[in-house]
Amino acid sequence: MHEGLKKELEIYEKRTPRSRLAHQKAVPRIPLGVASNYRAYEPYPLFVREGRGGHIWDLDGNEYVDFNLCFGALMAGHCHPAVVRAVKERLHIGTMFGMPHEMEWALAEEICTRFPVEMVRFGSSGTEATMHAIRLARAATGRDRIVKMEGAYHGLHDSALVSVKPKSDQFGDPAAPTPVPAGAGVTTATLQNTLVAPFNDLAAVERLFAAHTGQIAAVIVEPILMNIGICMPVPGYHQGLRELTTRHGALLIFDEVKTGAKLARGGACEYFAVKPDIVCLAKSIGGGFPLAAFAAHREVMDLIAQHKVFHGGTYNTNPVSMAAGLAMFREVLIPAAYEHINQMNSRLVEGYRKTIEKMGLNAYAIGAGANGAFMLYPREIRNYRDWITIDVDLWRHYWFGMVNRGVLPQPYWWDEQWTISVAHTEEDIDRHLTAFEELAPQLARAQQERMATAAP
C-alpha cells in the first residue's frame, strides 16, 4: 500500500470512530455487517445518520456532499419536498392493500407517454424488473437462451448473475467470453442459457445468433454500461442490436434501471433514439422508495393478460411507493430538472477535466445526463476487459481522499459513478471540485511513482 493511501485511511479512521463501532457490532449478526454485499469495504463502511437534499451526515456528525445518492437511486436528492408531501399524505390513509387503485393507471400512463411502450407492470426492485422481462421474452419467443454483456449487472436473479465481474483466469476469449457464475449457487443450467458478449461488439452478438440459431430469446443490455464506471456505446451500437434481434426473432431488453430517470425524460430510448421491446425501470423513478416497472408493447404484455406468464407481488404498487413515483414523474423529472442536472454535470466534468490535464493524471472524466465518473484509465474504455486494468489502490486513495474532504464522490466501488440530484447547487459542485483539486497533486505523484515501479 502506498504512503498517500495509508495516510488517507488513517484520517478516515480518526474521523469515523462511530462507524467502526457500529460495524463491529453488526458483524456477528449480519454477514459482513451490511445488508447488501455492495455496501461492504475495508476497513469498514461509513454508517449514515441522515440526509437532506444533496447532503448526508455520518454517525460522527461529519457532513458530506452526497454524489453516491444510494447507488444512483436518488436523482431527487434526499427528502425531496414533493415526494415527502405525497408520501406523508399516504401514511395516514393506508399504505398497503394488495388491491387495485387509481394511481396504477396514472403512473402507467406517465411511463407510456415518455417511453416507447404500451403497457406496464410494477414491482419493487430492479432485480424483479429484469427477471420478469427475461421471463416474458422467453415466453414470447418459446426460447430459453439470453445474451448479456460481459461486466453488465442486471440484479440478483440467476440468469443475470453471470459474468458480472468475472476473473481473468476464468473469462476466456475477449471476443467470445466464457459465461462465469457471479457466485456459488448459480446452476449449471443457468450458465448454459446465459450467453455472454463483450459490450460494443456487434460481431460477437451476431456470432452467438449464428451458433445458437432459433434459441436466443433476448438480448438484455444496459444502454450505457454503468456497472463498470461509465462505458458509452459506440455510435450505432444500439441500432445494430435492434437490427440483429429483429432479424433473428429475439427481443431487445433495455435495462434502464440506472438510465431510465437520469439520462433524459424518456431515458436511454430517447437519448439513443432506439425502440427496444421491453424497458426495465427502477432506482430514481421511486424518489427514495422501492419502485420498479417493466414495460413493453401490447403483444408482449398480453402474455400476462392471457395468463400465460405469471406476474404478482404483495408489495407491487403499494400506495406509498406509487405516491412517491407519481410525485417524481409529475413534479421532479420535469424539463427544468434535466436542464439543471445537465448544467451541474457539465460544470463538474469540465472541472475534473481541467484538473486532470493540469496535473498530468493518466485518467479522464466523462458525463451522461445526471451521471459522471472519474475514470483512472489512459483512454476511454469500451468494454469490461478495458475496465479491469484499473489501479485499485490509486482508486482507494482518490475515494478516501475525497471522503476525508467532505465529498462522497460516488459509491465506494470503481465500477460505479456519481449522480447529480436536482438538489445539488453550484456551490455543491464547486466543493466537489475544490476537494478534487486539493487531492489531485497527491494522486498524480502517487500514480507516477506507481507507474515507475511497475515498469519493466
- Interface residues with ligand PLP (CB under 6 A) are 71, 125-127, 130, 153-155, 222, 227, 255, 257-258, 282
Residues present in the chain in total = 456
- Amino acid, single-letter form, for residue 263: L
Active-site option among 12, 44, 153, 364: 153
Q: Can you say how many angstroms the Cα of residue 91 is from the centroid of all Cα atoms in its chain? A: 29
Considering beta carbons, is residue 5 or 162 the nearer one to ligand PLP? 162
CB of 292 vs ligand PLP, minimal distance in Å: 6
For residue 411, cis peptide bond before it (omega within 30 degrees of 0) = no
E-state strands within 238-387:
251-255, 278-281, 292-296, 364-368, 371-375
- Residues contacting 404, CB < 8 A, separation 6+: 8, 11, 12, 15
With CB atoms as reference, the residue minimizing the distance to ligand PLP is 126
Considering beta carbons, is residue 186 or 282 the nearer one to ligand PLP? 282
Considering beta carbons, is residue 71 or 338 the nearer one to ligand PLP? 71
Question: Do 182 and 150 meet the contact criterion of CB atoms below 8 Å apart?
Answer: no
Active site residue 255: yes
Q: Write phi, then psi, for 233 (nearest 5 degrees).
A: -70, 145
CB of 257 vs ligand PLP, minimal distance in Å: 4
CB of 124 vs ligand PLP, minimal distance in Å: 8
CB of 230 vs ligand PLP, minimal distance in Å: 12
Distances (CA, A) of 363 to 316, 352, 442: 43, 10, 14
Considering beta carbons, is residue 277 or 391 the nearer one to ligand PLP? 277
Nearest to 280 by CA among 426, 154, 387, 406: 154
Considering beta carbons, is residue 33 or 286 the nearer one to ligand PLP? 286
Query: Which phi-psi region, left, alpha or beta, contains residue 320 (left: φ > 0; alpha: ψ -120 to 50)?
Result: alpha
Active-site option among 148, 258, 262, 283: 283
Question: Do 109 and 158 meet the contact criterion of CB atoms below 8 Å apart?
Answer: no
Can you tell me whether residue 364 is helix, strand or coil?
A: strand
Question: Do 23 and 33 meet the contact criterion of CB atoms below 8 Å apart?
Answer: yes
CB of 258 vs ligand PLP, minimal distance in Å: 5
Identify the burial level of 339 via C-beta atoms within 10 angstroms of its C-beta, where 0-12 means exposed, 13-18 middle and 19 or more buried.
exposed
What does the angle CA 370 – CA 8 – CA 456 come to, to the nearest 5 degrees? 90
- Amino acid, single-letter form, for residue 437: E
Active site residue 153: yes
Active site residue 364: no
Q: What is the DSSP letter of 136?
A: H
Considering beta carbons, is residue 222 or 277 the nearer one to ligand PLP? 222
Considering beta carbons, is residue 70 or 139 the nearer one to ligand PLP? 70
Q: Can you say how many angstroms the Cα of residue 175 is from the centroid of all Cα atoms in its chain? A: 25
Cell reading at 327: 410525485
Considering beta carbons, is residue 48 or 334 the nearer one to ligand PLP? 48
CB of 356 vs ligand PLP, minimal distance in Å: 26
Can you tell me whether residue 415 is helix, strand or coil?
A: coil
Active-site option among 201, 255, 391, 428: 255
Give the pairing of strands 216-221 and 251-255.
parallel
Please give the positions annotated as active site: 153, 255, 283
